Amino acid sequence: MTQKDIRVILADDHAVVREGIRQFLERAGDIEVVAEADDGAQAQALILEHQPDVAVLDIQMPKATGIDVTRWVRANARQTGVLILTAYNDDPYVIAVLQAGANGYVLKTASPKEIIQAVRDVYAGKSAIHQAIAQKLVAYVTRQKEETPVEALSDRELEVLGLLARGNTNKAIAVQLGISDRTVQGHIAHIFGKLNVSNRTEAVMRAISLGWVAQNDIENS
């Protein structure tokens, strides 16, 4: 390997499902499944023990749901990215997961290639949202648009937001705009505050609903 393996914790209460996911993730060549959990409490313990790059979580698990584990990760293991891999695409699940701070949401109907890419994207600091889920999010933030007014962004903030939508990391944005990582972080904090959101995915979806970013920007990133 020429680059560091992406270390993954896999949590799903169906052993057969875990085995199938593990096999195609590890065949990718740059992903290592370091541990598996069959319930949410075990997932939390293994994340603390192994400090993985990415936690791949189902939603419905005993003892703690994927939503519970996501909230726990954001509070206790912020270095770990969270990818939800589930069969559930109901609006309440989608919104709850992303509000909890997940970095990605992919359906189990996705191809192995799409799921592998989602793991890589989350590891790289990008959002990984299945197209069907993205459409639901756009509809949700569009409904919210009238309820919660937003403050206009500056030209620079719009530039940063556009690059976020294309999946760029903070470092990549800094390089492209010729500014420091710290300045990028400041712009992103201002964007979140003005859009009344708490993470990148919500920011991009809100921007799409406002017409500030085109949806194909995220679909083609």
- Please tell me the distance from the alpha carbon of residue 214 to that of residue 29, in angstroms, as a whole number: 33
Q: What angle do CA 114, 116, 121 make, to 5 degrees?
A: 90
**Spatial distance between the Cα atoms of 21 and 14, rounded to a whole number of angstroms:** 11
pLDDT at 194: 87
Cα(200)–Cα(101) distance, integer angstroms = 9
- The answer to whether the pTM exceeds 0.85 is no
Q: How many CB atoms lie within 10 A of CB 177?
A: 16
**Is 144's pLDDT higher than 80?**
no
| pLDDT tens sequence across 14-35 | 999 999 999 999 999 899 999 9
As a whole number, mean pLDDT of residues 164-178 equals 87
pLDDT band for position 196 (cuts 50, 70, 90): confident
Give the tens place of pLDDT for each residue, 31-85: 999 999 999 999 999 999 999 999 999 998 999 999 999 999 988 988 899 999 9
Query: Strand 128-129 and strand 6-11: pairing?
Result: unpaired
C-alpha distances (whole Å) from 90 to each of 28, 61, 102, 156 are: 30, 16, 16, 35
Structural domain spans, the chain: 6-129, 140-219
pLDDT at 211 (0 to 100): 73
Question: What pLDDT does 220 receive?
Answer: 46
Assign a CATH topology to domain 6-129. Answer: Rossmann fold (3.40.50)
Q: Are 209 and 138 within 8 A, CB to CB?
A: yes
Average pLDDT of the chain is: 84
Domain 140-219 has CATH 1.10.10.10: yes
Q: Which amino acid is at 125?
A: G
pLDDT digits (tens, 9 = 90+) for 74-113: 889 888 999 999 887 777 777 788 778 888 888 888 899 9
57 sits in which H/E element: strand 54-57
Residue 2 pLDDT class (50, 70, 90 cuts): very low
What tokens were used for 89? 């695409």
- More confident: 88 or 185: 185
